[in-house]
């Protein structure tokens, strides 16, 4: 990216300092997101106008120090010091300082002074500081830092005109000639006589400035926040609270998404009917209805769950709860080599792996995040439910309690497999312990609905743009495989039989026949082979695929398909599928990576195809061996 004629403005500050809220208020919806070149760290950039000046404002990753340790801090430092060509060095910095933690925030500010750039300081969390009995002298702070200082309330836009005015003054004056803040004592100057600590003088400077600026001491009391933490961070009650809160989130994703998902499915049905009306019957119509409209529908139908998930997670993060949830879960998940912050994505993966993988951005350590991404598809998502229903009816047609037990066992197997795979990965290719949990518990605050809506819009749009195109291509390819080559039609042939023979004659059918020798030890035949091949588009497709091979039509229910499978007989008149086959099929679909849209999102989040390929191969091997053992053992009884 070249610098062009736009002035570059960067927001920088500690995590949880209110930086992103200010960025959203500044940029509105005129923004875009992407990854920094060569990294998986997300960046957000918006275009704004300051007076007569065109500007580009970016929200740098949160950082505590320019002595970078995390990938986010490394990226932010590289941008600030113009170390790499991932983004032009900013012309103006907007340090966002948390008024409730001014001394710690000033330490980072003392390092930002070394960048020799004009600055406008924004003081955030002023409302929380006032609630805690803190009164700050803004004029004194402005004099100490030698730059404009603006107090910003997260729910008010009153400070934005003042911020625009300060930025306009710098741009009109000229960024090269505008006065710089007075530099704090250099780290190099304090390396002698400070007990070996190279930052002692910076901390001393931060403390001195804070003493001059803070006019009243913080009232140390056990307020409602401290009382709430006694419950939410308790080893037992904290775990109970977490399970309850996450259960509400999980239930909301299913419950709230049902109606909009129904609207999307209805809309896609109308679009398909419209195409059928406008386009003559034939391959072009089939391509547009089944390939393109169907592919778009398979992408859009995930959107309500994605948006609801990110909306709720943003509210929980803004409130300060997610940090406490990570603290509570850290000890349990660390046994399997996962951080506590991985539990939120693992739990949300039971709704859909796609938004769950995207939500792993809350995990700061790259190795921890990568392991979580690789094991997430083992959480039984909603797309597996039709398969589980079909198998439950196939194995226990007249016993609801046994069918419920089968469902529970499937979910339990998925969780255990995810933890086992995580442990194996941490002992092999991703060897090494998780970073110790060094986490700041931010103050509780009322979340911003406006910020949550903006974040939801941005991440939902990013999903449609980046993952949707790949999913559409996959859908069209699968349509081609299931449509060609065509056999010659037989006059007077029964339409249901014709659909079965067409499916068997297609490339997909031939692939099913080709893999039959490989899957036969699992108790599967070529029909199930076709279902497995088709389910790479989406797991639930296996039900429709099996329905077509049995001449039931692609709208048949899991109950109808299970009944057809129970009634199926081989050449010698024996039942074609046994209970062992049903259990084997269940284990296979619990463990298999049958979802190419998930692979597309894994590719997007990791920045490489090697990780989704590893995910695919490892889960397929687990599924095959698990299914093989299940069928061979149960067949002996």
Give tens-digit pLDDT for 485-515.
888 878 877 776 777 678 778 887 888 888 8
Domain span at residue 40 reads 7-216
416 by DSSP, 3-state: which? helix
Here the tokens at position 469 are 């195109």
> Can you read off the two tokens belonging to residue 587?
């284990």
Average model confidence (pLDDT) across the chain: 80
CB neighbour list of residue 226: distance below 8 Å, 6 or more residues apart: none
The residue that leads in pLDDT, 536 or 627, is 627
Q: What is the pLDDT of residue 167?
A: 93
In a domain, 109, yes or no: yes
Residue 49 lies in a domain: yes
Does the pLDDT at position 541 exceed 90?
A: no
In a domain, 161, yes or no: yes
Report yes or no on 451 lying in a domain: no
User: pTM for this one?
Assistant: 0.61
Structural domain includes residue 54: yes
Please check whether residue 362 is in contact with residue 396, taking contact to mean a CB–CB distance below 8 angstroms.
Answer: no
Asked if the structure places residue 37 within a domain, the reply is yes
Q: Domain holding 189: CATH number?
A: 3.40.50.300
pLDDT, tens digit, 9 for 90 and up, residues 286-334 = 888 877 776 677 667 768 877 887 788 888 877 888 778 877 877 778 8
Within a domain: residue 53? yes
**In angstroms, rounded to a whole number, what is the distance separating the alpha carbons of residues 7 and 30?**
16
Residue listed under structure tokens 């226990």: 396
Question: Model confidence at 561, in pLDDT bands (50, 70, 90)?
Answer: confident
Q: Which residues is 92 bridged to in the sheet?
A: 9
Whether the Cβ atoms of residue 11 and residue 23 lie closer than 8 Å to each other = yes
Q: What is the pLDDT of residues 75-108, one digit of tens each?
A: 888 888 887 766 788 999 999 998 888 888 998 9
What is the count of structural domains for the chain?
1
Q: Is the pLDDT of residue 353 over 80?
A: yes
371-380 per-residue burial string, b: 16 or more CB within 10 A, e: under 16: bbbbbbbbbb
Place of tokens 């938004």: 355
How remote is the C-alpha of 501 from its chain's centroid? 41
Cis peptide before 103 (omega within 30 of 0): no
pLDDT tens digits, one per residue of 568-623: 776 677 787 888 998 999 999 999 987 877 888 899 888 889 999 999 999 999 99
Strands (E), 523-564: none
Q: Is the peptide bond before 485 cis (omega within 30 degrees of 0)?
A: yes
pLDDT of residue 586: 92
Percent with pLDDT over 70 in the chain: 83
Indicate whether 553 pLDDT > 70: no
DSSP state of 574: S
Q: How far apart are CA 160 and CA 583, in angstroms?
A: 61
pLDDT for 192 = 39
- Asked if residue 225 is part of any domain, the answer here is no
């Amino acid at each position: 990216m070249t610098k062009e004629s736009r002035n570059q403005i960067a927001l920088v500050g500690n995590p949880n300092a209110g930086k992103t809220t200010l960025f959203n208020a500044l940029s509105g919806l005129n923004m875009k997101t992407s990854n920094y070149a060569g990294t998986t760290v997300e960046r957000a950039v918006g275009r704004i106008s300051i007076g007569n000046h065109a500007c580009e404002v970016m929200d740098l990753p949160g950082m505590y120090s320019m002595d970078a340790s995390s990938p986010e801090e490394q990226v932010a430092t590289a941008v600030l010091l113009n170390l790499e060509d991932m983004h032009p060095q900013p012309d103006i910095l907007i340090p966002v300082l948390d008024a409730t933690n001014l001394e710690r925030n000033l330490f980072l500010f003392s390092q930002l002074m070394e960048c020799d750039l004009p600055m406008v300081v924004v003081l955030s969390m002023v409302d929380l500081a006032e609630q805690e009995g803190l009164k700050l002298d803004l004029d004194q702070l402005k004099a100490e830092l030698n730059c404009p200082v603006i107090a910003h309330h997260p729910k008010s836009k009153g400070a934005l005109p003042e911020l625009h005015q300060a930025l306009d003054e710098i741009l009109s004056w000229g960024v090269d000639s505008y006065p710089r803040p007075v530099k704090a004592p250099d780290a190099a100057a304090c390396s002698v006589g400070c007990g070996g600590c190279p930052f002692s003088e910076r901390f001393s400077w931060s403390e001195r400035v804070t003493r001059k600026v803070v006019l009243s001491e913080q009232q140390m009391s056990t307020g409602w926040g401290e009382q709430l933490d006694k419950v939410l961070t308790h080893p037992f009650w904290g775990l109970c609270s977490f399970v309850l809160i996450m259960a509400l989130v999980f239930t909301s994703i299913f419950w709230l998404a049902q109606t909009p998902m129904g609207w999307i499915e209805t809309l896609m049905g109308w679009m398909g009917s419209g195409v059928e009306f406008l386009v003559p019957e034939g391959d072009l119509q089939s391509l547009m209805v089944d390939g393109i409209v169907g592919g778009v529908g398979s992408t859009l139908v995930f959107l309500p769950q994605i948006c609801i998930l990110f909306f709720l997670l943003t509210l929980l993060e803004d409130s300060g709860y997610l940090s406490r949830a990570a603290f509570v879960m850290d000890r349990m998940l660390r046994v399997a080599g996962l951080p506590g912050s991985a539990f939120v994505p693992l739990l949300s993966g039971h709704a859909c792996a796609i938004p769950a993988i995207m939500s792993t951005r809350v995990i700061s350590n790259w190795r921890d995040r990568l392991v979580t991404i690789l094991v997430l598809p083992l959480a039984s998502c909603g797309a597996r439910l039709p398969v589980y229903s079909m198998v439950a009816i196939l194995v226990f047609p007249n016993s609801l309690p046994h069918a419920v037990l089968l469902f529970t066992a499937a979910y339990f197997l998925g969780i255990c497999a995810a933890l086992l795979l995580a442990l194996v990965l941490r002992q092999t290719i991703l060897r090494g312990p998780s970073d110790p949990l060094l986490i700041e518990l931010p103050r509780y605050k009322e979340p911003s609905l406006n910020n949550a809506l903006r974040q939801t819009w941005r991440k939902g749009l990013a999903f449609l743009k980046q993952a949707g195109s790949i999913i559409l291509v996959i859908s069209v390819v699968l349509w081609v495989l299931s449509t060609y080559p065509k056999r010659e039609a037989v006059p007077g042939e029964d339409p249901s039989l014709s659909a079965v023979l067409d499916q068997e004659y297609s490339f997909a059918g031939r692939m099913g026949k080709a893999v039959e020798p490989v899957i036969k030890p699992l108790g599967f035949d070529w029909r199930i082979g076709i279902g497995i091949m088709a389910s790479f588009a989406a797991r639930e497709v296996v039900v429709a695929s099996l329905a077509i091979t049995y001449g039931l039509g692609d709208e048949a229910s899991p109950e109808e398909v299970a009944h057809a499978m129970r009634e199926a007989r081989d050449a010698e008149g024996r039942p074609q599928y046994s209970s062992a086959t049903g259990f084997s099929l269940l284990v296979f679909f619990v463990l298999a990576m049958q979802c190419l849209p998930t692979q597309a999102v894994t590719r997007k989040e990791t920045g490489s195809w090697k990780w989704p390929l590893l995910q695919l191969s490892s889960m397929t091997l687990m599924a095959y061996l698990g299914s093989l053992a299940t069928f061979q053992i149960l067949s002996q009884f």
